[in-house]
Amino acid sequence: MAVKRYDGSAWQTVAGLGAQGPAATSSSITTWVKTASGGETSLSGNDDSSQALSYTVGQELVFINGTLLKRGSDYTATNGTSITGLTALAANDVATVWTVNAFSVTGAIANTIVDAKGDLLVGTAADTPGRLAVGTDGQVLTAASTTGTGLIWATPAGGGGKVLQVVSTTYATQSVNTTVGTFADTGLSLSITPSSATSKVLVIITQAIAADGNPTSEVNASVRLLRGATEIWKAIRTISTVGASANMFHNAHVSITYLDSPSTTSATTYKTQATPYNGATRTNAQWGNDGTSVITLLEIGA
């Protein structure tokens, strides 16, 4: 904003260029107010609020009872601390001196730096402002030293114990393994992509498994759980006991509940494998009626 005064023939700028953008300056005004006792022809010292008179020569405005005086004709102002050459004031006249000071706003942050609701102003370096675009609903502001702004919007991993996602599937195709001691895929498999490397994955499985073998001994199957190619759980299940019919599959369900820490945000596959064990000659995953297997994966926030 430019502050101007009329010198009797033209308006003169007292302070402020009135420009926009980097070249712009503005102004501040300090007010000095004194109530006259009567007879004063000069003004100086403290006003009614104990504020000392101080001005920049040529940038002062003097009023008596609200009427603006003309510099050089109605008063003299040469030293920055006193006003002289006044017509004698009457008692209770109010003298006011405006002190106008220009200041530069060069370097001010332009409002064009933001483009949308929610944009943030951030420091990108010393004395250097930048813009961080608004994130999406539910994201939180997170420090990220490798980015230009040092900040990113990120989806929170969630509080400890919160379920962040659930995937599940069933599998009913039979799969026979006749190689004792060698694990083979049952066909039950499912992938999940954790949203955070600190998340855990709760694996819940009902594996339909059957086995047959020598009726003079127990018939067992060994079932294991893998994350990718890594075994993370294994158990032996007795499918039938001594005296069971030979060459006939004996059915069972194996329940698996395992809390895993995959420590990754990449797609991770969990699957089961089975093998005949300790008297069994064959295993049959997903056998006949009611032989469907189920796997459910829950991502749990750390």
In this prediction, residue 20 carries a pLDDT of 43
Given a cut of 80, whether residue 196 has pLDDT beyond it is yes
Strand-pair partners of 227? 230, 270
**60 and 137 belong to one structural domain:** no
In this prediction, residue 92 carries a pLDDT of 96
**291 and 211 belong to one structural domain:** yes
**139 and 217 belong to one structural domain:** no
Note the pTM of the prediction, 2 decimals: 0.49
**178 and 288 belong to one structural domain:** yes
- Nearest CA to 274 among 245, 249, 299? 249
pLDDT digits (tens, 9 = 90+) for 270-298: 999 999 887 778 888 887 777 899 999 99
**Residue 34 belongs to what domain range?**
3-104
Give the residue, 18 or 130, on which the prediction is more confident: 130
Least confident of 92-106, 132-146, 197-211, 242-256: 242-256
Strand-pair partners of 30? 99
* Distant-in-sequence, close-in-space partners of 80: CB < 8 Å, separation ≥ 6: 54, 55, 56, 57
pLDDT digits (tens, 9 = 90+) for 147-164: 888 999 887 765 567 899
What is the full DSSP assignment across 54-111? ---TTSEEEEETTEEPPBTTTBB--SSSEEB-PPPPPTT-EEEEEEEEEEE-TTPPPG
**37 and 63 belong to one structural domain:** yes
**171 and 274 belong to one structural domain:** yes
pLDDT digits (tens, 9 = 90+) for 56-108: 898 899 999 999 999 999 999 999 999 999 999 999 999 999 987 765 556 67
Domain with 289 in it: what CATH number? 2.60.120.1340
**147 and 234 belong to one structural domain:** no
**130 and 195 belong to one structural domain:** no
**243 and 278 belong to one structural domain:** yes
Give the residue, 15 or 263, on which the prediction is more confident: 263
What integer best gives the mean pLDDT of the chain? 85
User: What is the rounded CA–CA span in Å between residue 287 and residue 116?
Assistant: 59
Distances (CA, A) of 282 to 55, 238, 245: 104, 13, 14
**195 and 282 belong to one structural domain:** yes
**167 and 289 belong to one structural domain:** yes
Number of domains in the chain: 3
pLDDT digits (tens, 9 = 90+) for 26-40: 567 889 999 999 999
Give the residue, 177 or 75, on which the prediction is more confident: 75
